[in-house]
Each structure stands twice: as C-alpha cells, then as structure tokens.
Amino acid sequence: MLRRPTTDRNADLFARLSHNTGEKPRDMSAYLAVEELDGVMEINLAGDWVFANLNELQQSLDEIEPGDRRLVRFQCGGLKDFDLAGAWILYERSMDFEEVGIETAFENFRATHFKFLQHIIDLAAQKEYIPGFFDPKPHHYWRSGIRAIGANTIEAVDSVGFIARAVLDGIKRPSRLVIGETIRQVHATGAAAIPIVSTICFLMGIVLAYQSARQLEQFGANIFMVDLVANAILRELGVLLAAIMVAGRSGSAFAAALGTMKLTEEVDALRVMGLNPNQVLIIPRVLGLVIALPMLTVFANAAGLLGGAFIGAAVLDINGFAFTERLATTISVNDVLVGLSKAPVFAFLIAVTGTLRGMQVKGSAEELGRLTTVAVVQSIFLIIVADAIFTVVYSRIGF
Amino acid sequence: METRQEPVISIRGLVNRFGRQVVHDHLDLDVRRDEILGVVGGSGAGKSVLLRSILGLHGPNEGTINVLGHDIRHHEPGPHRKWGVLFQGGALLSGLTVQENVELPIALHSNLPVETRRELAVLKIFMVGLDLNAASKYPNELSGGMRKRASLARALALEPKLLFLDEPTAGLDPISATEFDELVSYLHANLDLTIVMITHDVDTLFSICDRVAVLVNKGIIVDTLEEIVKHPDPWIQEYFGDPRAVRARTAARHRLSSRREAE
C-alpha cells in the first residue's frame, strides 16, 4: 500500500547522510552483509541493486532482523550498479524500520548512486494516499443486478431509436451517394457469397435426401424424398442457411468496418463534412443486404434442390426427369414465396445488428472485437427467432 | 571507465531498399553513452526506417546493427529489457488502464509480487508527472500530452539504459511540448539514460540534444549543433536557415547566456 512519509522525516534522512568509512563486513548474501557494533547495525550493500535482482534484494532485506537496536546504517560504498527500483526497495525497507522506531541512515553513497535515492525520496514526498485506489471495490449483487437491467433497457430503447432514425434518414432524404455504395454492398455481400452459400446448400440437399431416403425405403416410398427435400429447402433451409452464412460473413464485416471507422474518427469526419453517417454508412449496407439476400436465397434453393436430385439419380433410382415431374406436382409457387419472403426480414436484422454494434464501438480495440462477436451472435439469434415466428404465423394462415 | 568509450548503438554499412528506391546507402552511425541524439531529416529520408531497423522491426537489406553489445536481427528479440520505446501515437494498449499498461512489462519480465509491481508502476507514473487519478484512466480518456507521458512511463518501466523517442513533441501545444522537453532532459540527467529521438521540433533540438544526426543523400551526418549548422549541404542549410530554426537557436543562446550569468 502507498505510504505517506512526512516531509520532515525526509529532511531528517538527508541530514543523516554523511560520509563515513565502515569496517570489514560479515557476508550474509551477495547483496548485503550485516555487522553489529554496540547497539548499531551496519549493513554493507554490495553488487547490482537493479530491477533484474529485485526478488533477491527483497529477500535479503527481509532477512534483516534489527531486534532492539536503535540505529541501522546502510553503507552504500560497495554498490556496483543501482537504479530506481533498487533505490525504492532500499528506501521502503528503511521506512519499515523508521515505523517501528529504529533510526536509519545512508552513508558513503557515490554521487551517481545517490541521485536515485534522492529521486525516490522526492517522489515519496509527492505521493498522496488515495483511499480505495488499490482496494478492491465492494460488490453489491442486488444493486449491480438492478443497474444492469436498467442499463440494458436503456440500451434496447436506444437501439430501436437508432434504427428508426437511420431508416427515417434514408426515406426522407435519399442521397445520390447511396446508390453507388448500395450496389457495391450488393456485390460484396451477395454476389461474392454465391459460391460458398451454394456449396453449403448443395451439401444440405445431399444430407436431407440421404436421411429421408433411409426412412422412406422401408415403405418403398422413395419418391416422397422429393417432397421432403423440396419442402425443407424451399420453405426453411435455403433461406436460413443463406442468412446464417451472411450473418457470419457480412454482419461481422459491417461491425468491424464501422467500428474501425469510429475508432479512427472517420465517422466524425463524415459528420463534420455535413454527411449523415446514417445515410452514407448504414442505409447502403441495410439496403444492399435487403436486395442481396433474396437473390442469394434463389441460388441457395437451386443448389439445395440440385443436391437432392444428385443423390436421387446416383443412389435412389430417381432420375432427373422423375425428380422434376414430382417437384412440379408437389410444390406450388407459394412454397417458394414462403422462403423468399423471409429473406428481406433476415437481411434487415443482420444489417441493422451489424451496423448498430459497429457504431457502438468506443475507445478501444478490445471493444471492437467484443462488439463484432456480439453482432454475429445476436443476428443469428434474431434470425432463428424471426424464423420461428414466421413458421407459426404462416401455418396459422395456411400460407 | 572503458565502457564509456564503447558506443551504445553502432551501425555499420546499413542498406535499406524498397524496390528500386534506396533509402539508406551504407550508413554508419555510433551513438555514445549518456548522450541525447536528435535525428532529423526530410519526409521520406528514412528516419522511421532507421528506427525500425534498430529496433529489429524491419529487416535491412545489408549491414549490421549492434545495440548494447547485442546484434539486432529482424524478428528476433532484442535487448528489450534494456531499452524503452515511446512510439509516436503512444501505442498504449487501449483495453488497459495507464496503471496496467505500465505494470504490463514489469509483470512480463519478472515474478515480483503484485504489490511490488504496483508500487514500481506508480513510481514511474509519478516520475513522468502524472498522478493516481490519471493512472486509473484508460488511454482514450487522456489528453495527447498525458498519453505521451503515460507511454513514457511504460517505456521506463524496466529501468532501461536506452530510450527511443519517436516524435515525442509532435501534436503537442508549445507549452506541453516545452514541458515534455524538460521532462526528457530531467530523466536524462537523473536516470543515466542514452536517448535517441526522432524529432521535427527545432526547439527540442536546440534545447536538449547533445548531438544531431541529419539524414541526407541516403547517408547520415552526425555532429554537434554548432558544427552542423555550418555544414554546406543544401537541405541542412535550408532546414537550419528557416526562420523558426533561427528563432529557436537564438532562444537557446539566450537561455545559455542567462544561465551563465545566474551562475
């Protein structure tokens, strides 16, 4: 803990700095040797009293037992190397002695060494003990819990306001800048994601076809595999997989990009140039993704069906012709629309969560990483929640 | 003492090329113990590349660099317990408080108990003129000058013998810059430091540097200020002939003569 030495004690210490020659010491360790003269303890310092040896120095100093002696004299003539850390540890120990009423003195310092000690003494005089600075803060579970609920509520309201504001800005004063940036975003979040999303959905089609065929084979109803795959892919999995993939790809990219722009004051620069960050940064991203995800879903659906057809032809004796015929009879345009209608909503959720979290970055690089993670996790969570709501509503209205 | 004669940093035949652009062409430099060396040069003259080469952050094309008897190789740990670096932007870790930033190198390079670590960190924080209030803050809550001071405290955490300062007064107002100069020369006088600083501040050059190294024509010219202002090189003439430099020089002379009178 920080100690507050009084200034007059320091003055005292200065007064007791004198030049004296010590006698032959008895070795105790590499750094100090203790010698006893009637009632006086002489400590001869030796070796390098530097930061690197601090642990050993502390140990050696702790081993000193002054007992009932009234004066401890540090003989500093034998010091080789000295630095602030060494000076500090020496000073601290001498203050320990002073506290129990033992006088201490430093002697035979070389000028080059003494300035370090003087430094420590000066600094110690400046030090003011601030209560509670180092003490752990008391933890109130109830209070901090209630506070957390309040803070989260405020944050949620704030977020909704932020989104409303951004959307309103976009509708009220569409800017010419938005168009080019939106097209760029459509490309970055949509077109660039086609290969990975298609591959994943193709594989999902294969998995579905295989799993359903194993069950249906028992009834000799292999052909119903087509119903199962087509319904699952078109109504649910195509759009869901595309959205989750985009959340991982683009949601995180939005948060990281906007967060970095916040940290480097680019957002502030836009604002002082008279550009609304909502307009230039958020609207193009939201709009771009809302356009891109439905299109991406089309690719995802096609790839999923292709995966099903591939397994049908390769393993289940359902050739391409039979597959398409069955598809035409079992699937209506409604099934496709059910899937596609979810896409803009998912896209909106992903883009808004990503940009919102990005804009919330303040201050540190760690914050950026944390909020990027939050953006991805929350957008996937919101996608699943929204999908559940969609499913319930659609089945109620018979869509 | 024989160690006094040995240079702290010795660079021989340093060559740095970027594509076809040669930045340093067989550059030699010796930094003496206990001096403050100011490094100046126009933009693109290779000040930062020189510093990064010395610190082992950049691999030079040719040449050897020796710091405190330690050969510097790219991407290998240098004598990092004996040197401290103040980066231009401060480079404090933004997720830690000032106190934790200063404690970090101490914690990494020793197994001291927590209390000792804290006390040592507080010591360094006080030494650069900050208080406990600033110590508990995060870097983004500090002003530019305080951030530089905090970064300096971190550079001093391991009791280095050698201190590198990259544009220490850039971005500071004149009052803070002067205070920072005073702090540097105070630390130099009190901690047996050798200081190498890249600077554009002519006031800093004239008030605290013992010698100046000028990077011109892919090489380096090192001398005391009195000598270097007489050097015929056109860039040097332009640099030190600039009204600001002339003002700084006269101011430094005034300071010197008034100090003599006081004595």
Q: Mean pLDDT of all residues in chain B?
A: 85
Best mutation site among B125, B159, B186 for testing chain A: the one with the most A CBs within 10 Å?
B159
Give me the pLDDT at residue A179, please: 82
For residue A9, pLDDT over 70 is answered with: no
Cα–Cα distance measured from residue A43 to residue A227, given in angstroms and rounded to the nearest whole number: 93
Residues of A in contact with B140 (CB under 8 A): 362-364
Chain A residue with minimum CA distance to B105: A51
Q: So what's the pLDDT on residue A22?
A: 40
CB pairs under 8 A between A and B: 66
Which H or E run includes B86? strand B83-86
The answer to whether the Cα torsion of B51, B52, B53, B54 is positive or negative is positive
Retrieve residue A305's tokens.
């069906």
Query: What is the structure's pLDDT at A133?
Result: 57
Pick among A95, A127, A137 to test the B interface (most B CBs inside 10 A): A127
Q: How far apart are CA B146 and CA B176, in angstroms?
A: 9
pLDDT attached to residue A14: 38
Per-residue pLDDT at A6 exceeds 70: no
Q: What is the pLDDT of residue A135?
A: 60
Which residue in B has a C-alpha nearest to residue A59's C-alpha?
A: B112
What is the model's pLDDT at position B263? Answer: 63
Burial of B253 (0-12, 13-18, 19+ CB in 10 A): exposed
Q: Which residues contact A169 (CB under 8 A, 6 or more apart)?
A: A276, A278, A279, A283
Given this model, what pLDDT does residue A16 score?
Answer: 40
Q: What does the angle CA A98 – CA A103 – CA A105 come to, to the nearest 5 degrees?
A: 110
Residue environment code for A242-252, b if the CB has 16+ CB neighbours within 10 A, otherwise e: bbbbbbbbbbb
Q: What is the pLDDT of residue A137?
A: 66
Contact B159 A50 (CB under 8 A): yes
pLDDT band of B95, cuts 50, 70, 90: confident
| Residue A277 reports pLDDT greater than 50 | yes
Provide the mean pLDDT of chain A.
82
**Identity of residue A101:** G
**In which band, very low, low, confident or very high, does the pLDDT at B238 lie, cut at 50, 70 and 90?**
confident
Smallest Cβ–Cβ distance between A363 and the set B118, B140, B191 belongs to B140
- CA torsion sign for A362, A367, A370, A376 is positive
Compare A388 and B95 and report the one with higher pLDDT: A388
A-chain residues near B141 (CB < 8 A): 363
Q: Tell me what the mean pLDDT of segment A17-33 comes to.
A: 51
pLDDT tens for each residue of A247-263: 999 999 999 999 998 88
Mean pLDDT for the stretch of residues A84-106: 85
Instruction: Look at residue A5 in the predicted model and tell me its pLDDT.
Output: 41
Say which residue the tokens 């001291």 belong to.
B112
pLDDT bracket for residue B218 (50, 70, 90): confident
| pLDDT tens digits along A128-167 | 555 555 566 677 888 888 999 999 899 888 888 888 887 7
Residue B16 DSSP SS3: strand
Chain B interface, mutation test: which of A84, A90, A122, A367, most B Cβ atoms within 10 Å?
A84
Residues of A with CB under 8 A from a CB of B: 1-2, 50-52, 54-55, 58, 83-85, 88-89, 92, 112, 115-116, 119-120, 123, 126-128, 130, 133-134, 362-367
Q: Which one is predicted more confidently, A4 or A29?
A: A29
Distance from CA of A106 to the nearest CA of B (A): 19
Q: Does B132 touch chain A (CB under 8 A)?
A: yes
Q: In the prediction, which pLDDT does B2 show?
A: 43
> Would you call B95 and A366 a contact, using CB atoms and an 8 Å cutoff?
yes
In angstroms, the CA A114 to CA A120 distance is 10
Using a pLDDT cut of 70, give the percent of chain B over it.
97
Kindly tell me if the per-residue pLDDT of A20 is higher than 90.
Answer: no
CA distance A371 to chain B (A): 14
Best of B127, B142, B152, B193 to substitute, by most chain A Cβ atoms within 10 angstroms, is: B127
H-helix segments, chain A: 7-15, 54-62, 84-99, 111-126, 141-172, 176-189, 194-216, 224-231, 238-246, 252-263, 266-272, 277, 283-315, 320-330, 333-359, 365-397
So what's the pLDDT on residue A393? 93
- Integer angstrom CA distances of residue A44 from A92, A102, A120, A248: 17, 17, 20, 66
- Closest residue by Cα to residue B11 from B2, B1, B22, B24: B24
Q: Which residue of B has its CA nearest to A81?
A: B192
* Sheet of B62-67, strand order: B21-31, B9-18, B62-67, B70-71
Cite the DSSP H helix spans in chain B.
47-54, 98-108, 114-127, 132-135, 144-155, 174-191, 202-208, 225-228, 234-241, 243-262
A384 confidence band (pLDDT: 50, 70, 90): very high
List of chain B residues whose C-beta atoms are within 8 Å of the C-beta of residue A116: 190-191
Within a 13 Å sphere around the CA of B239, how many CA atoms are in the beta-carbon half? Answer: 27
B-chain residues near A366 (CB < 8 A): 94-95
